[in-house]
A and B are shown apart, each in its own frame.
Chain A
Amino acid sequence: MKKVLFGIFIIILGISIYSFIMLNNVITDNNNLKSKINTVNSDNSNLEKDNETKETKIDNLKTELKDRLEEKEIWEKAKEKLTSALS
Protein backbone atom coordinates (compact mmCIF):
# COMPACT_ATOMS: atom_id res chain seq x y z
CA MET A 1 0.00 0.00 0.00
CA LYS A 2 2.77 2.40 1.02
CA LYS A 3 4.74 1.53 -2.09
CA VAL A 4 1.70 2.08 -4.34
CA LEU A 5 0.96 5.40 -2.65
CA PHE A 6 4.61 6.39 -2.91
CA GLY A 7 4.58 5.49 -6.61
CA ILE A 8 1.43 7.58 -7.17
CA PHE A 9 2.99 10.40 -5.18
CA ILE A 10 6.14 10.35 -7.31
CA ILE A 11 4.12 10.27 -10.55
CA ILE A 12 1.90 13.15 -9.47
CA LEU A 13 4.97 15.04 -8.26
CA GLY A 14 6.50 14.54 -11.71
CA ILE A 15 3.34 15.69 -13.43
CA SER A 16 3.11 18.63 -11.08
CA ILE A 17 6.72 19.71 -11.70
CA TYR A 18 6.23 19.27 -15.45
CA SER A 19 3.01 21.29 -15.46
CA PHE A 20 4.70 23.98 -13.38
CA ILE A 21 7.60 24.21 -15.83
CA MET A 22 5.20 24.32 -18.79
CA LEU A 23 3.12 26.99 -17.12
CA ASN A 24 6.22 29.05 -16.43
CA ASN A 25 7.32 28.72 -20.05
CA VAL A 26 3.96 29.95 -21.34
CA ILE A 27 3.95 32.81 -18.84
CA THR A 28 7.48 33.82 -19.91
CA ASP A 29 6.46 33.52 -23.57
CA ASN A 30 3.40 35.65 -22.93
CA ASN A 31 5.46 38.29 -21.17
CA ASN A 32 7.84 38.35 -24.13
CA LEU A 33 4.91 38.65 -26.51
CA LYS A 34 3.44 41.52 -24.48
CA SER A 35 6.78 43.28 -24.52
CA LYS A 36 7.11 42.69 -28.30
CA ILE A 37 3.58 44.01 -28.87
CA ASN A 38 4.39 47.10 -26.84
CA THR A 39 7.55 47.65 -28.87
CA VAL A 40 5.72 47.20 -32.19
CA ASN A 41 2.89 49.45 -31.01
CA SER A 42 5.39 52.08 -30.02
CA ASP A 43 7.11 51.67 -33.43
CA ASN A 44 3.74 52.02 -35.13
CA SER A 45 2.92 55.13 -33.19
CA ASN A 46 6.30 56.65 -34.14
CA LEU A 47 5.83 55.63 -37.78
CA GLU A 48 2.35 57.13 -37.84
CA LYS A 49 3.74 60.39 -36.47
CA ASP A 50 6.52 60.23 -39.07
CA ASN A 51 3.94 59.62 -41.81
CA GLU A 52 1.95 62.63 -40.68
CA THR A 53 5.12 64.74 -40.81
CA LYS A 54 5.93 63.37 -44.25
CA GLU A 55 2.40 64.03 -45.52
CA THR A 56 2.66 67.63 -44.33
CA LYS A 57 6.06 67.90 -46.00
CA ILE A 58 4.61 66.53 -49.25
CA ASP A 59 1.72 69.03 -49.10
CA ASN A 60 4.19 71.86 -48.54
CA LEU A 61 6.48 70.66 -51.32
CA LYS A 62 3.52 70.33 -53.69
CA THR A 63 2.50 73.91 -52.92
CA GLU A 64 6.07 75.15 -53.27
CA LEU A 65 6.68 73.17 -56.46
CA LYS A 66 3.25 73.69 -58.05
CA ASP A 67 4.75 75.53 -61.03
CA ARG A 68 7.60 73.07 -61.39
CA LEU A 69 5.20 70.11 -61.30
CA GLU A 70 3.14 71.72 -64.05
CA GLU A 71 6.36 72.26 -65.98
CA LYS A 72 7.23 68.58 -65.53
CA GLU A 73 3.77 67.59 -66.76
CA ILE A 74 4.16 69.71 -69.92
CA TRP A 75 7.46 68.06 -70.81
CA GLU A 76 6.02 64.62 -70.08
CA LYS A 77 3.07 65.35 -72.39
CA ALA A 78 5.47 66.47 -75.13
CA LYS A 79 7.42 63.26 -74.62
CA GLU A 80 4.21 61.21 -74.93
CA LYS A 81 3.24 62.97 -78.17
CA LEU A 82 6.69 62.46 -79.66
CA THR A 83 6.73 58.82 -78.58
CA SER A 84 3.38 58.23 -80.27
CA ALA A 85 4.71 60.03 -83.37
CA LEU A 86 7.57 57.53 -83.44
CA SER A 87 5.40 54.45 -83.01
Chain B
Amino acid sequence: MGKSERKTNKRSIIIIIILSLGILALSYFTVINYYKFQDETKNNKELNQKLNEVTNNKNKITEINNSLLSQIQELENTENTILETKNEVFKLASQVETKIKNKETNYKIAYITFDDGPYYLTDTIIATLKKYKVKATFFTIGLNKDKCFDNQKYSCAETYKKIVDNGHTIANHTYSHLIFNGLYNNVDSFITQVKKQEELIKNRTGVTTNILRFPGGASTAAYYGVKNGAITKLKEMGYGWVDWTAQDGDGGSLNSYDVGWRNFTGSINENIEVVLFHDYNKTTASLLPKAIEYLESKNYILLPLFYESVMINK
Protein backbone atom coordinates (compact mmCIF):
# COMPACT_ATOMS: atom_id res chain seq x y z
CA MET B 1 0.00 0.00 0.00
CA GLY B 2 1.38 3.34 -1.06
CA LYS B 3 1.64 6.38 1.17
CA SER B 4 -1.06 8.28 -0.67
CA GLU B 5 -3.38 5.30 -0.59
CA ARG B 6 -2.97 5.02 3.20
CA LYS B 7 -3.68 8.73 3.51
CA THR B 8 -6.89 8.34 1.45
CA ASN B 9 -7.99 5.39 3.58
CA LYS B 10 -7.32 7.37 6.75
CA ARG B 11 -9.40 10.28 5.45
CA SER B 12 -12.17 7.89 4.44
CA ILE B 13 -12.16 6.31 7.89
CA ILE B 14 -12.34 9.78 9.51
CA ILE B 15 -15.23 10.78 7.22
CA ILE B 16 -16.99 7.50 7.96
CA ILE B 17 -16.49 8.04 11.70
CA ILE B 18 -17.75 11.64 11.44
CA LEU B 19 -20.75 10.57 9.37
CA SER B 20 -21.46 7.72 11.79
CA LEU B 21 -21.22 10.08 14.79
CA GLY B 22 -23.40 12.57 12.95
CA ILE B 23 -25.96 9.88 12.21
CA LEU B 24 -25.88 8.80 15.86
CA ALA B 25 -26.22 12.37 17.11
CA LEU B 26 -29.04 13.16 14.68
CA SER B 27 -30.77 9.88 15.50
CA TYR B 28 -30.55 10.72 19.21
CA PHE B 29 -31.83 14.24 18.51
CA THR B 30 -34.69 12.84 16.39
CA VAL B 31 -35.67 10.28 19.02
CA ILE B 32 -35.69 12.95 21.71
CA ASN B 33 -37.74 15.18 19.40
CA TYR B 34 -40.14 12.30 18.78
CA TYR B 35 -40.76 11.75 22.50
CA LYS B 36 -41.09 15.47 23.12
CA PHE B 37 -43.46 15.66 20.16
CA GLN B 38 -45.51 12.82 21.63
CA ASP B 39 -45.67 14.60 24.97
CA GLU B 40 -46.56 17.94 23.40
CA THR B 41 -49.20 16.34 21.18
CA LYS B 42 -50.78 14.73 24.24
CA ASN B 43 -50.55 18.07 25.96
CA ASN B 44 -52.09 19.69 22.91
CA LYS B 45 -55.09 17.35 23.06
CA GLU B 46 -55.57 18.05 26.75
CA LEU B 47 -55.26 21.79 26.20
CA ASN B 48 -57.79 21.65 23.35
CA GLN B 49 -60.13 19.72 25.59
CA LYS B 50 -59.63 22.23 28.39
CA LEU B 51 -60.20 25.10 25.98
CA ASN B 52 -63.45 23.46 24.90
CA GLU B 53 -64.48 23.05 28.52
CA VAL B 54 -63.72 26.65 29.48
CA THR B 55 -65.35 27.89 26.27
CA ASN B 56 -68.47 25.85 27.04
CA ASN B 57 -68.35 27.20 30.55
CA LYS B 58 -68.05 30.70 29.14
CA ASN B 59 -71.07 30.11 26.93
CA LYS B 60 -73.09 28.91 29.91
CA ILE B 61 -72.01 31.86 32.06
CA THR B 62 -72.74 34.24 29.18
CA GLU B 63 -76.18 32.66 28.81
CA ILE B 64 -76.84 33.16 32.54
CA ASN B 65 -75.50 36.68 32.23
CA ASN B 66 -77.88 37.46 29.36
CA SER B 67 -80.79 35.91 31.22
CA LEU B 68 -79.95 38.00 34.29
CA LEU B 69 -79.68 41.09 32.11
CA SER B 70 -83.10 40.45 30.60
CA GLN B 71 -84.50 39.87 34.09
CA ILE B 72 -83.09 43.23 35.18
CA GLN B 73 -84.55 44.91 32.09
CA GLU B 74 -87.88 43.20 32.72
CA LEU B 75 -87.89 44.38 36.34
CA GLU B 76 -86.87 47.89 35.30
CA ASN B 77 -89.71 47.86 32.75
CA THR B 78 -92.29 46.67 35.30
CA GLU B 79 -94.23 49.96 35.20
CA ASN B 80 -94.49 49.82 31.40
CA THR B 81 -95.52 46.16 31.52
CA ILE B 82 -98.22 46.93 34.10
CA LEU B 83 -99.53 49.74 31.90
CA GLU B 84 -99.49 47.53 28.80
CA THR B 85 -101.22 44.66 30.62
CA LYS B 86 -103.79 47.06 32.09
CA ASN B 87 -104.62 48.37 28.60
CA GLU B 88 -104.86 44.79 27.30
CA VAL B 89 -107.20 43.93 30.21
CA PHE B 90 -109.50 46.81 29.32
CA LYS B 91 -109.52 45.79 25.64
CA LEU B 92 -110.34 42.19 26.58
CA ALA B 93 -112.95 43.37 29.10
CA SER B 94 -114.73 45.31 26.32
CA GLN B 95 -114.87 42.13 24.22
CA VAL B 96 -116.09 40.07 27.21
CA GLU B 97 -118.78 42.67 27.92
CA THR B 98 -120.02 42.22 24.33
CA LYS B 99 -120.02 38.44 24.78
CA ILE B 100 -121.92 38.80 28.04
CA LYS B 101 -124.48 41.09 26.41
CA ASN B 102 -124.88 38.52 23.59
CA LYS B 103 -125.12 35.73 26.20
CA GLU B 104 -122.14 33.94 24.66
CA THR B 105 -120.29 33.31 27.93
CA ASN B 106 -121.05 32.20 31.47
CA TYR B 107 -118.65 34.73 32.89
CA LYS B 108 -119.94 37.96 34.40
CA ILE B 109 -118.26 41.25 35.25
CA ALA B 110 -118.69 43.34 38.38
CA TYR B 111 -117.29 46.83 38.82
CA ILE B 112 -116.99 47.64 42.51
CA THR B 113 -117.19 51.39 43.07
CA PHE B 114 -116.81 53.64 46.10
CA ASP B 115 -118.36 57.09 46.28
CA ASP B 116 -117.65 60.24 48.27
CA GLY B 117 -114.11 59.46 49.43
CA PRO B 118 -111.41 59.58 50.28
CA TYR B 119 -112.12 59.14 53.95
CA TYR B 120 -109.91 57.61 56.58
CA LEU B 121 -111.61 54.25 55.96
CA THR B 122 -110.39 54.35 52.35
CA ASP B 123 -107.03 52.99 53.54
CA THR B 124 -108.75 49.96 55.09
CA ILE B 125 -110.74 49.42 51.90
CA ILE B 126 -107.61 49.66 49.74
CA ALA B 127 -105.92 47.11 52.05
CA THR B 128 -108.88 44.70 51.68
CA LEU B 129 -108.86 45.10 47.90
CA LYS B 130 -105.11 44.44 47.90
CA LYS B 131 -105.55 41.32 50.03
CA TYR B 132 -108.14 39.98 47.61
CA LYS B 133 -106.15 41.18 44.57
CA VAL B 134 -109.11 43.16 43.29
CA LYS B 135 -109.19 46.51 41.53
CA ALA B 136 -112.06 48.95 42.03
CA THR B 137 -113.15 52.47 41.17
CA PHE B 138 -113.19 55.45 43.51
CA PHE B 139 -115.51 58.36 42.69
CA THR B 140 -113.82 61.06 44.71
CA ILE B 141 -114.98 64.40 46.01
CA GLY B 142 -112.94 67.39 47.20
CA LEU B 143 -114.34 67.60 50.71
CA ASN B 144 -111.40 65.66 52.12
CA LYS B 145 -108.75 67.30 50.04
CA ASP B 146 -106.38 67.80 52.99
CA LYS B 147 -107.22 66.24 56.34
CA CYS B 148 -109.82 63.49 56.35
CA PHE B 149 -113.19 64.88 57.32
CA ASP B 150 -113.98 61.98 59.65
CA ASN B 151 -110.53 61.54 61.16
CA GLN B 152 -108.26 64.55 61.23
CA LYS B 153 -105.21 62.42 62.06
CA TYR B 154 -105.29 61.02 58.54
CA SER B 155 -104.15 62.88 55.48
CA CYS B 156 -106.68 62.21 52.79
CA ALA B 157 -104.51 64.22 50.39
CA GLU B 158 -102.17 61.25 50.16
CA THR B 159 -105.04 58.80 49.72
CA TYR B 160 -105.79 60.11 46.22
CA LYS B 161 -102.30 59.04 45.18
CA LYS B 162 -102.62 55.76 47.05
CA ILE B 163 -105.77 54.91 45.07
CA VAL B 164 -103.91 55.41 41.79
CA ASP B 165 -100.69 53.72 42.96
CA ASN B 166 -102.71 50.65 43.86
CA GLY B 167 -104.04 50.39 40.31
CA HIS B 168 -107.61 51.48 41.02
CA THR B 169 -109.53 53.81 38.76
CA ILE B 170 -109.90 57.30 40.19
CA ALA B 171 -112.96 59.13 38.98
CA ASN B 172 -114.88 62.37 39.43
CA HIS B 173 -117.85 62.78 41.78
CA THR B 174 -117.72 66.61 41.74
CA TYR B 175 -115.79 68.74 44.19
CA SER B 176 -118.59 69.78 46.54
CA HIS B 177 -121.20 67.01 46.20
CA LEU B 178 -123.69 69.50 47.65
CA ILE B 179 -126.77 68.05 45.93
CA PHE B 180 -129.26 70.23 47.77
CA ASN B 181 -127.04 73.22 48.24
CA GLY B 182 -126.15 74.65 44.86
CA LEU B 183 -124.56 71.80 42.88
CA TYR B 184 -127.57 71.43 40.58
CA ASN B 185 -128.59 75.10 40.51
CA ASN B 186 -127.69 75.19 36.84
CA VAL B 187 -125.43 73.47 34.32
CA ASP B 188 -122.58 75.92 34.89
CA SER B 189 -122.56 75.44 38.66
CA PHE B 190 -122.41 71.68 38.13
CA ILE B 191 -119.67 71.82 35.49
CA THR B 192 -117.63 74.18 37.70
CA GLN B 193 -117.65 71.54 40.43
CA VAL B 194 -116.68 68.82 37.92
CA LYS B 195 -113.73 70.86 36.63
CA LYS B 196 -112.63 71.74 40.18
CA GLN B 197 -112.53 68.07 41.15
CA GLU B 198 -110.84 67.12 37.88
CA GLU B 199 -108.08 69.63 38.71
CA LEU B 200 -107.75 68.35 42.27
CA ILE B 201 -107.38 64.75 41.04
CA LYS B 202 -104.85 65.86 38.44
CA ASN B 203 -102.82 67.77 41.04
CA ARG B 204 -102.89 64.94 43.56
CA THR B 205 -102.25 62.04 41.19
CA GLY B 206 -101.21 63.27 37.77
CA VAL B 207 -104.23 61.46 36.32
CA THR B 208 -106.78 63.24 34.15
CA THR B 209 -110.05 61.42 34.71
CA ASN B 210 -112.88 61.30 32.17
CA ILE B 211 -115.33 59.18 34.17
CA LEU B 212 -117.97 60.79 36.35
CA ARG B 213 -120.80 59.79 38.62
CA PHE B 214 -123.48 62.36 39.32
CA PRO B 215 -123.98 62.87 43.06
CA GLY B 216 -127.35 61.19 43.68
CA GLY B 217 -127.12 59.51 40.26
CA ALA B 218 -127.90 60.74 36.75
CA SER B 219 -131.08 58.72 36.33
CA THR B 220 -132.86 59.98 39.44
CA ALA B 221 -135.69 62.41 38.89
CA ALA B 222 -134.29 65.25 40.98
CA TYR B 223 -132.74 68.11 38.97
CA TYR B 224 -133.38 66.13 35.81
CA GLY B 225 -133.27 69.21 33.56
CA VAL B 226 -129.92 70.41 34.88
CA LYS B 227 -128.50 66.88 34.65
CA ASN B 228 -129.60 66.59 31.03
CA GLY B 229 -127.92 69.88 30.18
CA ALA B 230 -124.83 68.79 32.09
CA ILE B 231 -124.72 65.53 30.11
CA THR B 232 -124.54 67.48 26.84
CA LYS B 233 -121.72 69.59 28.25
CA LEU B 234 -119.92 66.53 29.67
CA LYS B 235 -120.01 64.87 26.24
CA GLU B 236 -118.30 67.94 24.79
CA MET B 237 -115.68 67.65 27.53
CA GLY B 238 -115.02 64.00 26.65
CA TYR B 239 -116.55 62.66 29.85
CA GLY B 240 -118.49 59.44 30.34
CA TRP B 241 -120.77 58.89 33.32
CA VAL B 242 -122.11 55.89 35.16
CA ASP B 243 -124.78 55.14 37.75
CA TRP B 244 -125.00 51.79 39.51
CA THR B 245 -126.92 48.53 39.28
CA ALA B 246 -126.30 47.08 42.75
CA GLN B 247 -125.63 48.40 46.26
CA ASP B 248 -125.68 47.59 49.95
CA GLY B 249 -127.65 50.73 50.71
CA ASP B 250 -124.84 52.41 52.62
CA GLY B 251 -125.58 55.86 51.16
CA GLY B 252 -127.57 56.78 54.26
CA SER B 253 -126.62 55.64 57.70
CA LEU B 254 -126.34 51.91 57.23
CA ASN B 255 -124.97 50.37 60.38
CA SER B 256 -126.35 46.86 60.32
CA TYR B 257 -124.16 44.24 58.72
CA ASP B 258 -127.13 41.94 58.09
CA VAL B 259 -129.19 44.65 56.42
CA GLY B 260 -126.20 45.65 54.28
CA TRP B 261 -125.55 42.05 53.29
CA ARG B 262 -129.21 41.46 52.47
CA ASN B 263 -129.33 44.63 50.39
CA PHE B 264 -126.15 43.71 48.60
CA THR B 265 -126.93 40.08 47.75
CA GLY B 266 -130.51 41.01 46.86
CA SER B 267 -129.28 43.57 44.33
CA ILE B 268 -126.87 41.26 42.49
CA ASN B 269 -128.83 39.95 39.53
CA GLU B 270 -127.28 41.37 36.35
CA ASN B 271 -124.51 39.82 34.30
CA ILE B 272 -122.63 43.11 34.35
CA GLU B 273 -122.93 44.84 37.69
CA VAL B 274 -121.77 48.24 38.86
CA VAL B 275 -121.79 47.94 42.63
CA LEU B 276 -122.20 51.13 44.63
CA PHE B 277 -120.48 51.40 48.01
CA HIS B 278 -119.32 54.39 50.03
CA ASP B 279 -115.84 54.36 51.49
CA TYR B 280 -116.94 56.24 54.60
CA ASN B 281 -119.19 53.43 55.78
CA LYS B 282 -117.84 51.06 58.41
CA THR B 283 -120.46 48.42 57.64
CA THR B 284 -119.38 48.42 54.00
CA ALA B 285 -115.73 48.16 55.03
CA SER B 286 -116.54 45.12 57.15
CA LEU B 287 -118.72 43.35 54.57
CA LEU B 288 -116.39 44.06 51.66
CA PRO B 289 -114.30 40.84 52.00
CA LYS B 290 -117.44 38.69 52.01
CA ALA B 291 -118.91 40.74 49.12
CA ILE B 292 -115.78 40.07 47.02
CA GLU B 293 -115.90 36.35 47.82
CA TYR B 294 -119.63 36.30 47.00
CA LEU B 295 -119.15 37.96 43.61
CA GLU B 296 -116.22 35.70 42.71
CA SER B 297 -118.24 32.62 43.72
CA LYS B 298 -120.96 33.81 41.30
CA ASN B 299 -118.43 33.80 38.44
CA TYR B 300 -117.96 37.57 38.34
CA ILE B 301 -114.64 38.97 37.13
CA LEU B 302 -113.95 42.02 39.27
CA LEU B 303 -112.51 44.99 37.41
CA PRO B 304 -112.09 48.73 37.76
CA LEU B 305 -114.19 50.89 35.46
CA PHE B 306 -112.64 52.13 32.23
CA TYR B 307 -113.92 54.70 29.76
CA GLU B 308 -114.59 52.18 26.95
CA SER B 309 -116.79 49.97 29.15
CA VAL B 310 -120.39 49.55 27.98
CA MET B 311 -121.44 50.63 31.45
CA ILE B 312 -120.01 54.10 30.88
CA ASN B 313 -122.58 56.34 29.19
CA LYS B 314 -121.01 58.52 26.56
Q: Using CB atoms and an 8 Å cutoff, list the residues of chain A in contact with chain B.
A: 1-2, 5-6, 8-9, 12-13, 15-16, 19-20, 22-23, 26-27, 29-30, 33-34, 36-37, 40-41, 43-44, 47-48, 50-51, 54-55, 57-58, 61-62, 65, 68-79, 81-86
Contact = CB atoms under 8 A, between A and B. Distances in A.
Interface stretch (B41-49, B118-126, B236-244): B41-49
A37 to B, nearest CB: 5
A79 B68 contact: no
A22 to B, nearest CB: 6
B92 A20 contact: no
A47 B99 contact: no
B93 interface: yes
A22 B85 CA distance: 65
A61 B75 contact: yes
Contact of B81 (A12, A43, A72): A72
A2 B12 CA distance: 7
Nearest to B30: A16
A86 B96 contact: yes
Given A30-B44, A58-B72, A76-B85, A5 B20 contact: yes
A2 B15 contact: yes
Nearest to A6: B19
B86 interface: yes
B78 A72 contact: yes
Nearest to A68: B78
What 6 pairs across the A-B complex have the smallest Cβ distances?
A: A85-B107, A82-B92, A54-B68, A33-B47, A19-B33, A5-B19
B62 A86 contact: no
B127 interface: no
A70 B89 CA distance: 16
Contact of B51 (A22, A23, A36, A68): A36
Q: Which of A9, A13, A23, A51 has the most CB of B within 10 A?
A: A23
Q: Which of B65, B85, B301 has the most CB of A within 10 A?
A: B85
A75 B79 CA distance: 12
B296 to A, nearest CB: 10
Contacts of A8: 19, 23
Given A26-B40, A75-B85, A76-B85, A54 B72 contact: yes
Contacts of B224: none
Nearest to A58: B71
A50 B44 contact: no
B216 to A, nearest CB: 31
B29 interface: yes
A8 B93 CA distance: 95
Contacts of B76: 61
B30 A47 contact: no
A9 B19 contact: yes
Contact of A16 (B26, B48, B65, B82): B26
Given A23-B33, A82-B96, A40 B51 contact: yes
A80 B29 CA distance: 78
Nearest to B24: A12
A62 B85 contact: no
